[in-house]
Chains A and B, each alone.
Chain A
Amino acid sequence: MSDWVEACAAGDIDEEDVMRFDHAGRTYAIYRSPDDEYFATDGLCSHEKVHLADGLVMDDTIECPKHNGRFNYKTGDARGAPVCVNLKTYPVKVDAGKVLIQVG
């Protein structure tokens, strides 16, 4: 069974932005959408293992800071060259002002 882990406070991430979260030897990216929903994906780009949290969030897209690979952070879908491998996504919930993600 996977556990829910507290990643940050809901207010730690601006709307339409992203934050890095490291846990148990893995790195994740936590997103807050323009509609104030929260999402989580693997933290590293599937192209060259760069931290996505340094990238730019526009609407439902995260763009890798290194080579502009784009993903839909809600679904993990790669959106064309140079990325072709989707990101793994993780369930997220907000509870009492805390953002929790279900890792593993």
Chain B
Amino acid sequence: MTGGMVIIGAGECGGRAALALRDLGYEGPVTLVGDEPHLPYERPPLSKEAMTGEAPLIKAIASDELLAERSIRHIHSVRAVAIDRAGHAVSLSDSSSLSYDKLLLATGSLPRKLPMPGLGGRCVYLRTFNDALAIRAHLKPENRVAIIGGGFIGLELAASARKLGATVTVIEAQPRILMRGVPAEIAEIIHKAHEAEGVNVLTGQGITAIADDGAEVRITLAGGQEVVADLAVIGIGAVPVTALAADAGLAIDNGIAVDGTLRTEDPDIFAAGDCCSFPLAVYGGRRVRLEAWRNAQEQGALAATNMLGANEAHAAVPWFWSDQYGLTLQIAGLSDEGRSIVRRDLDDGAFILFHLAEDGRLVAASGIGPGNAVARDIRLAEMLIAKRATPAPDALGSQTVKLKSLLAA
């Protein structure tokens, strides 16, 4: 009797992996286990359309009908509690157990908790659709919303809250917003966009105390200022969900440690998406962990391929985007690999910063502009990064030189 393929975590990564197993022709049992009550769904809309849309719709990756048609068993509202590696079985929180031939851990990440006393019912985090519903109920004109953390989730939520008329304050402890992974020049444009839309953005402001009486949150800043809000949303990063793997004796290194093929040290257990750290080939095997939608998708598909016996290594270039007001930011590659920057101006005020390593290799590209103004060139940059190209800085900087022509070189 075969246990088939078991996937723990029914988010973007797990959902895509399950579908990919069928796309690849696997005919044995596929079981997808998730701790949320919903179908696998896309998380990027949670800070945006799920807040501002007429109704808070869930964007499912697969419908019940599709799961049934593909013979994917989806067990919802249940957690995996332990892995019996020797017995090839996973026990679940409903006291049942599943045997497996190959196991994929797509357990994702959870919001980093603010390590402070005083947090109560009006201090919340955003990770799930249910979190989004709870936050959405507070986003209305008469309410004051404090966003703790000037990262992507916080800023996207700030933009949504403004759109719905709430009074919004963003509190960031670092000297500027988006310190991690976004060049200062681009962060400044986003900062100004928020101010122009009426958001009070406070940077370099540590929090010394929080008092939440269940109706109102009083946040005291290091400088003595007090921010009072009806709701505080904390968005200070995410931590990988690794306890299940760690308890099973698997190595953890800023995430469940896997090799380039997404295998853990146990050849029958894989990990993919937000929960894992892996060597990134394009940067000489630098170990990274990515919290990005496309990575979750790509790694889910790659894990499925390798669970079926292939030995393909992850070769993608990291990529992510953020939408705030009418602006879209897209970044390909890891900008901290760069030592110098070349700027290319596009139409409508859009521009791209190309990040070059010391040896001239293009290692990242960060773009911002209205709508999808930077999309095409960022995609081409991503291909150049994957090729480890060393394009001439003059050509990168000149709008008259088509990036596509550099790809052929």
A16, A66, A81, A82: the one contacting B375 at CB < 8 Å is A66
Please give, as numbers and ranges, the residues of chain A lying within 8 Å of B375 by CB-CB distance. Answer: 54-56, 65-66
Within A32-51, the residues touching B (CB, 8 Å) are 50-51
Question: How many of chain B's residues have a CB under 8 angstroms from any CB in A?
Answer: 20
Q: Nearest Cβ distance between residue A37 and chain B, in whole angstroms?
A: 18
Q: Nearest Cβ distance between residue B277 and chain A, in whole angstroms?
A: 23
Please give, as numbers and ranges, the residues of chain B lying within 8 Å of A82 by CB-CB distance. Answer: 42, 61, 297
Please give, as numbers and ranges, the residues of chain A lying within 8 Å of B176 by CB-CB distance. Answer: none
Q: In this assembly, does A75 line the interface, its C-beta being within 8 Å of a C-beta of chain B?
A: no
B372 pairs with A50, CB closer than 8 A? yes
Give complex CA distance A68, B42 in Å: 15
B20, B42, B372: the one contacting A51 at CB < 8 Å is B372
Q: Nearest Cβ distance between residue B359 and chain A, in whole angstroms?
A: 27
A to B contact number (C-beta, < 8 Å): 40
Chain A, residues 61-91, CB within 8 Å of chain B (1/0): the string is 0010111100000000000111000000000
Within B315-333, the residues touching A (CB, 8 Å) are 319, 321
Q: Nearest Cβ distance between residue A17 and chain B, in whole angstroms?
A: 9
Please give, as numbers and ranges, the residues of chain B lying within 8 Å of A81 by CB-CB distance. Answer: 16, 19-20, 297, 301
Q: In this assembly, does B376 line the interface, its C-beta being within 8 Å of a C-beta of chain A?
A: yes
Interface range on chain A (Cβ under 8 Å from partner)? 10 to 19
Q: Contacts A81-B16, A81-B301 given: A68-B372 contact, CB under 8 Å?
A: no
Q: Contacts A68-B294, A81-B297 given: A56-B19 contact, CB under 8 Å?
A: no
Please give, as numbers and ranges, the residues of chain A lying within 8 Å of B319 by CB-CB distance. Answer: 68
B372 pairs with A54, CB closer than 8 A? yes
Please give, as numbers and ranges, the residues of chain B lying within 8 Å of A16 by CB-CB distance. Answer: 404
9 further A-B pairs in the complex, CB-CB below 8 A; given A54-B375, A65-B375, A81-B20:
A50-B372, A51-B372, A54-B372, A55-B372, A55-B379, A67-B293, A81-B16, A81-B297, A81-B301
Interchain residue pairs with CB less than 8 A apart (7): A55-B372, A55-B379, A56-B379, A63-B379, A66-B375, A68-B294, A81-B19
- CB within 8 Å of B: which residues of A? 16, 50-51, 54-56, 63, 65-68, 80-82
- CB within 8 Å of A: which residues of B? 16, 19-20, 23, 42, 61, 293-294, 297, 301, 319, 321, 371-373, 375-376, 379-380, 404
